[in-house]
Structure 1
Amino acid sequence: MISLNQGLWVPGTDKYEYGYNSIPNIPVTGAPDDTNFRRWSMLHDGTTYRLYAFKGSSRDTLYQFTWNGSSYAYGHDSIPVLTLTNAPADADPSSISLLHSGEAYHAYLRRLGDPTTLYQFVYVPGTTTYQWSYGDYVPTLQVTGFPADTDWSRWSMLHDGSAYRIYAFHYGSNDQLAQGSWNADASQYQYAHNSIPELKLTGFPADSDVGRAAMLHDGSDYRFYFQKP
């Protein structure tokens, strides 16, 4: 059974600190045997903390977990299995990020071979599907200006009530994140736009799996998670 090592952003600084005003370690329970925790994400929708992971080697099927007061439990108060639909042929399912914007649930995949192009999927209310190119939502988004050493295999996104934000590690670093946010005037995610360009992780235990990270904002705090095997 995996668990999550949790830290929070310390206001007024450039640091996410392990255990700061938070439960340091949180269990994940009830996961199906074929849950692929290498490909996962988290969000908060204004009410509930949610965790998602792909089913096995599937390109389009997600398992959903929610916080039940003591663990992230599979299927608790949620649709247990969700499907990504209408995905472009070159969508890369090797990683995923999800967020809630205050009005909708969003999921993002990178373009294969072009990780600074994002495909946006949106949850279709009343169904079990996230659909690419749904409604009036922009189907394809660009990310610009990030440093050349950005490790796009380790990235995350969130919405903090006012801004859409994107984060990624640097190659060779397990404690520094590059940050950008959505610039509506330019219609793209831009490095350092309306954000602290570089953030540090402090105090996270050595047993953290630095290849498996997620982030969310819950209406009051920015939260960062590493999986603990």
Structure 2
Amino acid sequence: MKPLDLLTLAITLTCALTISGCTGATESTPTTNTGSTTTDTVIPNSLNQAAYIGGTVYDFGFNSIPNIPFINAPADTDFSRSAMLHDGTTYRLYFFKQASHDTIYQFGYNAATQKYEFGFNSIPELKLTGIPTDADTNRFAMLHDGTTYRLYMKRQNDNTVMYQFGYNSTSGNYEFGFNSIATLFITLAPNDADLNRWAVLHDGSTYRLYTGKTGEIDTLYQFGFNAASNDYEWGFSSIPQLQVTNMPTDSVKTNFTMLHNGSNYRFYYPSNK
């Protein structure tokens, strides 16, 4: 059974996420966190791809191009901070700019070359505005819900709190709280959840968050967004635990990205293949 099959009630979550009323941090530019530079020992140049095969398993290469290069990255790309999404038309890959807390680079997947190319069918450089002063800009995640491009960061010193940004096409920026619940909470997480490794996606019905499991690098915990509580709850409308299998040894497992393309749930590790 796919995660989508677990949803038993039709919930219009896109509308729910645009409701105001959640309180969060003040909107101002952070002064204590200016972003990180790449800290992984290996600088990646491609992505190893797995897909959900059913049950509790994501398997490397299933219904997928096993390894996808990304090219033409600016010299100051921070490969340790990445996110992905599919917007119904284009697969998109994002990296932060080195030593920046508010600038991301955008890559689009070119089916003709089977590569993610910087600026392909994309705005090459995007800005984040209104970042809370206590936002942790060392990790981020993104999704598209059919209406809005969304970006998420955790709160410094409390990774059960997420800040949400929406893309404003008028300004061309990702703005904190735009068309969004500004602050979201992660609840019921198992004690061994690795909340520093995380990703999000939207599968057409449910907003989903995934975290690592401490001590089991290829195990994921799955959370679903509960519109009644405005929280991401472990196991809500979800298979609580998932396994990623057969990923190559060249995978850089310090973090992962995920997306849903309308048909398939996909999982990625960076690689230097």
TM-score, scaled relative to structure 1: 0.97
| 1:122 aligned residue (144, 166, 176) | 166
| 1:67 aligned residue (109, 114, 130) | 109
Match of residue 217 from structure 1: 260
Distance (whole Å) between structure 2 residues aligned to residue 167 and residue 42 of structure 1: 13
| 2:140 aligned residue (90, 93, 96) | 96
Match of residue 58 from structure 1: 100
Matched, 1:21 2:63: yes
Matches within 5 A, 1:76-91: 76-91=120-135
Matched, 1:165 2:218: no
CA deviation profile, 1:20-76 (whole Å, cap 9, x unmatched): 011000000000011111000000001110000000020010000000111000001
Structure 2 gap segments, 5+ residues each: 1-43
Q: Conserved in 1, the CA contact under 8 Å of 2:152 and 2:162?
A: yes
The residue type paired with residue 266 of structure 2 is R
Residue 220 of structure 1: CA displacement? 0.1
| 1:39 aligned residue (81, 84, 88) | 81
Structure 1 runs (4+) deviating above 6 angstroms are none
Residue 150 of structure 1: CA displacement? 1.2
Match of residue 201 from structure 1: 244
Superposed CA RMSD = 0.9
Distance (whole Å) between structure 2 residues aligned to residue 147 and residue 212 of structure 1: 19
Matched, 1:150 2:193: yes
Match of residue 46 from structure 2: 3
The residue type paired with residue 60 of structure 2 is Y
Distance (whole Å) between structure 2 residues aligned to residue 39 and residue 205 of structure 1: 21
TM-score, scaled relative to structure 2: 0.82
Q: Conserved in 2, the CA contact under 8 Å of 1:79 and 1:128?
A: no
Structure having the higher Rg: 2
Q: Conserved in 2, the CA contact under 8 Å of 1:92 and 1:111?
A: yes
Q: Conserved in 2, the CA contact under 8 Å of 1:119 and 1:140?
A: yes
Distance (whole Å) between structure 1 residues aligned to residue 106 and residue 61 of structure 2: 25
The residue type paired with residue 183 of structure 1 is N
